[in-house]
Amino acid sequence: MPQIAGLTSAETVELFRRYVIGNYNRYPVNLVRGEGSHVWDSEGNRYLDLFPGWGCNLLGHCPPHVVRAVQEQVATLIHVPNTWHMDVQGEWAKLLSERSFGGQAFFCNSGTEANEAAIKLARLHGKGKYKIITFTGGFHGRTLGSLTATAQPKYHEGLGPLMAGFSYAPHGDLAAVAKLIDEETCAIMVEPIQGEGGIRLPPPGFLQGLRKLADDHKLLLIFDEVQTGCGRTGEWFGYQHYGVTPDIMTLAKALCGGIAGGAMLTTPQIAPSLRPGTHAATFGGNPIAARAGIASIEMIEQEGLLDSAKQLGQIFERRFRKLQKECDLVTDVRVVGTMVGLELAVDGTPVVKGCLDRKLLINCTHSTVIRLLPAMNLPEDQAEEGCDILAEVIKSLPRQ
């Protein structure tokens, strides 16, 4: 038996240097345990985590209700193929359908896979129409279809030729979308709120305008809710803030309370275009993911966490508006529930480092946007504590 775990951070860094491909920038810290919004490293340091699991741990680390459900499921039935029915997968689909637009689900394991399913469904449903319009600053994943949908040149470098049939409009620009639509267009794909792009909110009327363009030209409207979905914004799904319903919605990240899982939902009218033989995912909708997904929904409802997310949003909004008044390095504050963006006039990398030194975990995206994706059940005193540290770090940044 090889010895597992029990290593120091330095020993773990060395293992990675030798045996793990270096495609991530990693902190030289070995995390070994998590509970709520705290994680511990192998040296016993405790960190306050306002970016738990890169957005996946929306219910905090090791949410007890999800842990119990998974423990029970893993000892009962781990995996069976999708050539069988599984009551847990059916029940999970029902819960998601009832909380969204009454559609049907296809299950997979990640965000990029959910978007690949959406792209294939849009093309199959388009019956020969194949072009999809997406938006600058968007992020849809790393496999080649989703990557092509991601209108950010830095992620495309060295990987061409990419997929044919995608065109990009500036985010928020309805006139540009209208110009890109032609006889071969089948869909428009957008995040209701851009996440990786820097917590960018849709300009007023933008999503409504996309809905109208889609209806007028018989296109499918695809919302990538991988980051905005599953309660993150204080509604079940981001689109519910805007009164605009998509034809296809994709989910992952927080969908299963930290367990890997993804889903694509569409209306019962469109769903039949994904006929047997057109698409599949071996692990998609497996009993463990399904139980974790069900348990996540139950926990959010039993603990009133949609309201908690809204209240947390108000705390972050208040604290960061105040900070913006006090500190001219903060140029914008964008908060929807537990999606929090703080735009800086300077590079945010030293802020992330300064917070790490003070045992606070945050993220910086697009060089200048401090991004927090805290758990919905983050206690309010921990939210205030995180804001205190972040404010202190930003105020102490060296001035040019």
Ligand X SMILES: *Cc1c(COP(=O)(O)O)cnc(C)c1O
Residue number with CB closer to ligand X (40 or 155): 155
Cα distance between residue 376 and residue 160, in whole Å:
39
Q: 3-state DSSP call for residue 351? A: helix
How far, rounded to the nearest angstrom, does the alpha carbon of residue 100 sit from its chain's CA centroid? 17
Residue number with CB closer to ligand X (145 or 354): 145
CB of 132 to ligand X, least distance (A): 14
Residue number with CB closer to ligand X (119 or 387): 119
Residue number with CB closer to ligand X (42 or 100): 100
Position 69: which residue type?
A: A
Token pair for 374: 């805290």
Where along the sequence are the contacts to ligand X (CB under 6 A)?
110-112, 115, 139-141, 191, 195-196, 224, 226-227, 252-253
CB of 255 to ligand X, least distance (A): 10
Cα distance between residue 359 and residue 372, in whole Å:
15
For residue 161, cis peptide bond before it (omega within 30 degrees of 0): yes
Q: 3-state DSSP call for residue 230? A: coil
Token pair for 135: 């938006």
Catalytic, 154? Answer no
Question: Which one of 224, 237, 247, 320 is the catalytic residue?
Answer: 224
Catalytic, 253? Answer yes
Cα distance between residue 227 and residue 53, in whole Å:
12
Residue number with CB closer to ligand X (190 or 352): 190
Catalytic, 139? Answer yes
E-state strands within the chain: 31-35, 38-41, 46-49, 104-108, 131-135, 166-169, 185-190, 220-224, 248-251, 262-266, 330-336, 339-344, 360-361, 363-365, 369-372
| Sheet strands side by side (includes 185-190) | 104-108, 262-266, 248-251, 220-224, 185-190, 131-135, 166-169
Cα distance between residue 138 and residue 122, in whole Å:
18
Token pair for 75: 């000892």
Question: Which one of 51, 106, 139, 166 is the catalytic residue?
Answer: 139
Secondary structure percentages of the chain, helix, strand, coil, to 5: 40, 20, 40
Burial of 29 (0-12, 13-18, 19+ CB in 10 A): middle
CB of 160 to ligand X, least distance (A): 20
Token pair for 315: 């705390």
- Please give the backbone phi and psi of residue 228, each rounded to the nearest 5 degrees, phi first: -85, -15
Cα distance between residue 279 and residue 349, in whole Å:
41
CB of 136 to ligand X, least distance (A): 14
Residue number with CB closer to ligand X (12 or 112): 112
Residue number with CB closer to ligand X (100 or 227): 227
Q: Which residues are catalytic?
A: 139, 224, 253
